[in-house]
Amino acid sequence: MLLSNNTVSSRIDEMSCDVEVQLVEKLKYTNFSIQLDESTVRDSEALLMAYVRYVDNGEFIEDMLFCEALETTTIAIDIYKKLKTYLDDKQIPMENIISCAADGAPVMMGKKNGVLKLLKDDNPQMLLVHCVIHRQNLVSKKVSPVLNETLNAVIKCINTIKANAKCERLFKQFCKDQNADYVRLLLHTDVRWLSNGNCLKRFMELFDILSEFLDDKPYMTLLLTVDGKALVSYLADMFEKLNVLNKELQGTNMTLVNSKAKIFGFISFLELSQENISVKKFEQFYLLNKCAVTDATCLVIVEHLKIMVSDFNFRFSDLKEINYPSWMTQPLLVDLSDVTLEYQGELSELQNDDSIKALFKIKGTMMWLCEETQAKYPNTSSLARKLLLPFPSSYLVECGFSAVNDLLLKKRNRLDITKRGDLRLKLTKFLPRIKSLCSRHQAQGSH
């Protein structure tokens, strides 16, 4: 028997409500971390979205907490009150939040009146996290004047084709005639995380065809010089590496510990690249290695690498100062004489526990989330969980807003997106699908 649209909608709302009730009950009695962001969707509607991460059955669980409308202004106090009201209504203690992650917008991270500052006043033990992906993206935008001129020339070439429907059709046919692997260019957009890398990579894949198609354009002529092509190749290589880093900083089990290792590992790579390129060793850069590179170009690249190293170190100085106990990542190898007395007893027993050794080989640091470890070694497990639980980024809410836009485009029959039951279901029970959607958007240069 077919159900009416109203019946289906009612059942979806009931399921959504049940999911929320179950989540709230868990958060009342357990520590969790949270990530927040606000965004404007269709018809200038401002939304605030929150995701939480907690431990359940030996693993991280990540769920949407709420999606609420900001009716008027979107200043810090409005966002803070919206979150505080929700927690109070659901009787979730503020003290249960051990960390809060957000992007670098002043409304979120402002030192005097930012949302995170207001939350910190309520819960002084809370760890405040500036999204590592947003910080990495800010570093990627800092280029020298010479490289900026090259990047602008690439954007002008792309816009010449993409801005005119007839020109784009002609270019598509031209690519087909040349048996090219691709028949269209990708647009560059500043607000999209992976835009630079995807745009430049596609540009270089079609470089020879573009050199013929736009041979009368002065900005293409600039790129056809020895230095011009080498600089575009370097930018394509570098932004591809930044995109890889961006994706590595996302994921269900990503922690501040993992993020710190990846960020400072990338800084070490930049320092090595700086030394290699100064002596004209380009093997680490695939496209650049196929180009003729002049001394002047080498100087430009080395200077850019210096700028990136300095900017990375500056923006992640707080992350560098966080010292995680060595026993948390290497509990079986740590020298117990280097461990504080509070944890020596449990760790000495743990190092001789065969079942925990086997568990560590399988799960690594996620071993600390398991019920067996918590039951046997409560002190060390409790501290390890608090250190592993914080979100290192706010990528889930970025996924969430992509899903909201997708819902609004496909189903416009219910005006208030925050009242739709299928929103919660899509952003919680079907979170893997949302992440897949986000990955598809990223592949197209979106966020």
Percent of the chain beyond pLDDT 90?
59
The per-residue pLDDT for range 430-444, each reduced to its tens digit, is 455 545 555 555 555
Do 98 and 16 have their domain in common?
Answer: yes
Do 163 and 277 have their domain in common?
Answer: yes
Do 123 and 153 have their domain in common?
Answer: no
**74/228 Cα distance (integer angstroms):** 44
Do 163 and 64 have their domain in common?
Answer: no
Do 216 and 69 have their domain in common?
Answer: no
Between 10 and 171, the more confident residue is 171
Beta-sheet strand order (sheet of 97-102)? 59-70, 46-56, 32-40, 97-102, 127-130
Least confident range of 165-174, 192-201, 214-223: 192-201
Report pLDDT for 19.
Answer: 83
The per-residue pLDDT for range 384-426, each reduced to its tens digit, is 999 999 999 998 988 888 777 777 765 554 555 566 555 666 5
The per-residue pLDDT for range 334-360, each reduced to its tens digit, is 999 999 999 999 999 999 999 999 999
Report pLDDT for 10.
Answer: 64
Do 159 and 107 have their domain in common?
Answer: no
Do 112 and 23 have their domain in common?
Answer: yes
Average pLDDT, integer, range 203-219 = 90
Do 438 and 350 have their domain in common?
Answer: no
Q: 223 Cβ partners below 8 Å, 6+ apart?
A: 150, 153, 154, 157, 229, 232
Do 147 and 198 have their domain in common?
Answer: yes
Q: How many domains does the chain have?
A: 3
Taking all residues of the chain, what is their mean pLDDT, rounded to a whole number?
A: 86
3-class secondary-structure state, position 210: helix
The per-residue pLDDT for range 103-129, each reduced to its tens digit, is 888 999 988 889 999 999 999 999 999
Q: 312 Cβ partners below 8 Å, 6+ apart?
A: 136, 139, 263, 266, 267, 270
Strand partners, 39: 47
pTM for the whole thing?
Answer: 0.85
User: How far from chain centre, in Å, is Cα 336?
Assistant: 36
Which of 289, 321, 353 is the last residue in one of the domains? 321
Strand partners, 326: none
Residue 446 has pLDDT above 50, yes or no: no
Do 220 and 159 have their domain in common?
Answer: yes
Rg (CA), the chain: 25
Report pLDDT for 447.
Answer: 42
Report pLDDT for 401.
Answer: 81
Tokens of 155: 């954007």
Domain around 283: 138-321
